[in-house]
Structure 1
């Protein structure tokens, strides 16, 4: 991989965090090709050849203003891409077309030779599964709150009764709309008598509530670790960013080592961790977002997160 190859950024049109990184890469005169997979057939074309040249794969991706040779891409920043849904087609045709894009364009992007992924999309997908996250966290001796994943109504009620203060979390964030209204699912308290047979339809995540005094958001970028303490009175601090205060902190060496080992386990270059700090100062594992937001933290604290991501992408290599 030559050091002069472009950085490819795959993301949606409105992505201020990606804009910050692209601006920094432009300042460094690093070539950038940006696209969204949803633009396939309009502003995005891909061609990949196999078995006709010494390299495992040759070809290019092309936008109206940029061309990137597949063998020359130094890094792929997989930010917030969206896939086409082909809503103008009938159901079977739409599902067929969507599958071809994910396995065609996606398969090409997943196979780039000599490329640094931040992060590889398939590694992201693996690391997003919360039961797997919990198991790996416990294996690495992080403090994991008692947690139940179940669609068994009796099990869920017994768990809540045993731990008394319990919260419910979604297993994966999913866009959800009722009519024209977008809905968000927060971490919320739950009582045993609130549950009914609807619990049996899908698995749910129930977790003993941590008696916390603050939250930690830890962003790891390559070998660099940035930790921010978030103080508020909120159970779920995402509900009101205006109610938050921030302070940059240093992590205990054992915790920092465990979080970097966590990313290594999944083959990730970066990730955003959420932990809760209890009254004794102990950090409790909550979750990893392998592609979490961090731009607002740089604005609030001055941490050089944009520079760290640009360093990683500029360096390239597997």
Structure 2
């Protein structure tokens, strides 16, 4: 390799979004080592030494075709990695082995001081709590719809009665099946009559419905913002991608500045924000996905999102 400082890309095997960024890095002749933690074993080897040399961490990550000197890594793109589950082992051994990988491989990578993380997995995890997101958005001056998080069915019914049109959202996406059929938690309308004592089992998120005319997905990469207006007539536009139309938008500076401050507060360098636009043109906070999808938006709009990621990873630092 002509360049000694590689970019690590941690992601699953089939990731078209990562492919787009890697293609851009290849055009810049930046070496890339792509790996998936689930491949630990013959397809992924990691070795690190501590306390035996000048560098605090010295070692390598190796795949069958590539290797990276850990002391030379310029950036880590933590996309959609999978951790191994070891299904062939008995449950106790599988839990033990999975923990060793997460705290061994993960711990080695987290120990690195040099690279820019896009984004650091510990920062991603901390940013993924919706109640904390709502509070931070309000502190930064963003419009937040009235929201209740509770496991009290009576309080939930009172909230719905007070606000009329209310939606229910999951607090965290998790793989879920019912009778062998995969299900996804959409944002759906909910009425007081639908609630029963089952609400007490876990906290639920109820939110007053915004009278929106469109949604806005804002991707921030470093200090660059890409905003796309999504029109569909759907409460949750993810239900039918064929029904969507896209327009490149230029949101007010105060909105973009608040989103940049939001990432700064959480120690993130990139994020996908979802906002709702009402009839008055006001922008309402919905949520942040610290590692959201954006590849299809580049294809629909021609915005240089993958090039922005490649620029950021190549520099290895965030520039204003």
Q: Secondary structure at the match of 2:171?
A: coil
Cα deviation, residue 112, structure 1:
1.6
1:21 counterpart = 2:21 = yes
TM-score by length of 1: 0.97
Partner of 1:104 in structure 2?
A: 104
Tell me, in whole angstroms, the C-alpha distance in 2 between the residues paired with 1:184 and 1:14.
20
After TM superposition, which residue ranges in structure 1, 4 or more long, deviate above 4 angstroms?
Answer: none
TM-score by length of 2: 0.97
CA distance in 1, matches of 2:236, 2:111: 38
**Aligned residue for 2:285?**
285
Superposed, 1:38-77 pairs within 5 Å as: 38-77=38-77
Any idea what SS the aligned residue of 2:51 has?
A: coil
Unaligned runs of 5+ in 2: none
Q: Which residue of 2 aligns with 1:189?
A: 189
Q: Which runs of 5+ in 1 are unaligned?
A: none
* Cα drift, residue 179 of structure 1: 5.4
Find the aligned partners of 2:105 and 2:201 in 1 and give their Cα distance: 34
Show the counterpart of 1:267.
Answer: 267
State the Cα RMSD in Å: 1.3
SS in 1 for 2:215: strand
Using the TM superposition, name which of 283-292 and 179-188 deviates more: 179-188
Distance in 1 separating the partners of 2:61 and 2:199: 45
1:291 to partner: Cα distance:
0.3
1:266 and 1:188 mapped to 2: Cα distance? 28
1:149-164 matches, within 5 Å, as 149-164=149-164
* Distance (whole Å) between structure 1 residues aligned to residue 249 and residue 142 of structure 2: 18
CA shift at 1:180, angstroms? 4.5
Aligned to 1:225: 225
Q: In structure 1, what is the equivalent of residue 144 of structure 2?
A: 144
Of 171-180 and 223-232, the range deviating more from structure 2: 171-180
Q: How does 1:70-85 map to 2 (within 5 A)?
A: 70-85=70-85
Aligned residue pairs, count: 317
Name whichever of 148-157 and 299-308 sits farther off.
148-157
- Asked whether the 8 Å contact 1:9–1:34 carries over to 2, the reply is yes
